[in-house]
Structures are given as structure tokens and as C-alpha cells.
Amino acid sequence: LTAHYLTKSTYKLSKNDWCVIHAAGSGVGQFLVQIAKKIGAKVIGTTSNEIKGELARQSGADVVVRYDQLKTAVKDATNEKGVSVVYDGVGASTWETSLSVLRTRGTCVFYGN
């Protein structure tokens, strides 16, 4: 329910939108990835380790990186344009990076913190 609400009401994700999903290997993160891919969005997922990274890949994430690699991954994937939306259920430790990878007029959605 949370993932559906975030992608349909909080920020209506569209086909071909680039999005970042923090904690993409977690329960809500995996659902966010799956819904985003069903919509046709492109997903950059962040995880803290390779086991969770594999879960994010199995859920359909296009790019999976550790949190400290996010800025470079977004620049490379979007040709330095940034992402349309960041879904951030992590909080304080990802706040600055989340804001820095947004495109002009992008949206950062914080939940669960």
C-alpha cells in the first residue's frame, strides 16, 4: 500500500521517468522498484550491501549502487540531468545526496522517517 501511494499520489511516476529508490532491497523498496518498472520508469536503487543489491536487481532495478556511489551513478545514467524523483525511506544520512541528484524541479519524497 505504501509503495502504491508513493508512486500514484505523492509523486505520480510516469513512463521513462528516472527515479532513485533508496533501500531498494528492503520490503517497501522492492515493491517501489516493481511498481516503477511496471509503470515504465527507469530505476536507480541504492543498497547497503551486495545481498540487498541482488534483491533490488531481481525486483527489476536498472542500476544498483551503494549509497556512496549514487551521485556518479545518477550523472552517468541521466547524462548529468538528474532524476525526476527520489523515494527516500532512509532519512538523515541520505538527505543531502537525495536533493543533489534531482533534476530541475524534481521531487524528493521522504517517508517512514
Mean pLDDT of 9-14: 94
Are 34 and 62 in contact by the 8 Å Cβ rule? The answer is: no
pLDDT digits (tens, 9 = 90+) for 59-110: 999 999 999 999 999 999 999 999 999 999 998 899 999 999 999 999 999 9
Please, are residues 77 and 44 in contact by the beta-carbon 8 Å criterion? yes
* CA separation for the pair 65, 2 (Å, rounded): 23
pTM of the model: 0.95
User: Are the CB atoms for 36 and 44 separated by under 8 Å?
Assistant: no
User: For 19-57, what is each residue's pLDDT tens digit?
Assistant: 999 999 999 999 999 999 999 999 999 999 999 999 999
φ, ψ at 41 (rounded to 5°) = -80, 165
Instruction: Give the model's pLDDT for residue 113.
Output: 73
d(CA 11, CA 106): 10
Residue 91's pLDDT is 86
